[in-house]
């Protein structure tokens, strides 16, 4: 099978008002192949043998967890996590930080045919700064679209920005607020922000 891989950058400019900021940047890897299987991925458990030197080391990113079938969350993955991420057969990554995606990570996406959706949400240390609702809404659309599954949602540490997006998903799944907040606090630990919890969709 012959593959020719190119990277294209798509700017999401859906009805933006003058002076508004770009909401989402998408990088898509376009590959020409003889046959593309568009069926939903089949998940199978990954067995890891005891570490005997030659064995593959599968290290999940910080704060990694399964959110739902085909939806995962974590902190920022680095090269030590790439082997683990390959076992997830990801189609998409939702990146919630404004900083450019590192070159090593971009190369990993290209070589594995993973599409990047970047929603640049600033990480504030101030306790009463709200996460932009429009941006969260657009990111939720990507999460809810099964064509993007399996998908990994991440920010820097997989706590606040990721927690807000997952919390909004949980509300759509009709979770009670106390369960949504419990999950948020489990990942945010002692740094849970009242403003993030108040702003849950």
Burial of 85 (0-12, 13-18, 19+ CB in 10 A): buried
DSSP letters, 55-107, are: S----PPTT-EEEETTEEEES---GGGHHHHHTTT-SEEEE--SSPPPHHHHH
155 is annotated as an active-site residue:
yes
Helix axis angle, 133-144 relative to 160-172, nearest 10°? Answer: 60
Give me the catalytic one of 24, 155, 164, 168.
155
Give, rounded to a whole angstrom, the gap between the first and last alpha carbons of the chain.
45
Measure the CA–CA gap between 42 and 94, rounded to whole angstroms: 21
Q: Which residues are catalytic?
A: 155
């Amino acid at each position: 099978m012959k593959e020719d891989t190119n990277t294209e950058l798509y700017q999401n400019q859906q009805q933006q008002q003058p002076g508004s900021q770009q909401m989402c940047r998408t990088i898509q890897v376009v590959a020409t192949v003889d046959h593309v299987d568009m069926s939903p991925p089949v998940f199978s458990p990954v067995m890891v043998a005891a570490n005997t030197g030659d064995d593959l080391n599968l290290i999940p990113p910080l704060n990694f967890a399964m959110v739902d079938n085909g939806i995962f969350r974590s902190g920022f993955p680095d090269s030590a996590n790439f082997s683990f991420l390959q076992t997830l057969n990801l189609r998409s990554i939702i990146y919630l930080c404004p900083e450019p995606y590192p070159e090593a990570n971009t190369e990993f996406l290209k070589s594995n045919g993973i599409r990047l959706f970047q929603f640049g949400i600033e990480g504030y240390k101030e306790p009463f700064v709200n996460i932009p609702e429009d941006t969260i809404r657009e990111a939720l659309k990507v999460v809810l679209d099964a064509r993007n599954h399996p998908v990994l949602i991440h920010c820097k540490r997989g706590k606040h920005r990721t927690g807000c997006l997952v919390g909004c998903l949980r509300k759509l799944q009709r979770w009670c607020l106390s369960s949504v907040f419990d999950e948020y606090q489990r990942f945010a630990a002692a740094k849970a922000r009242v403003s993030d919890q108040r702003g849950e969709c």
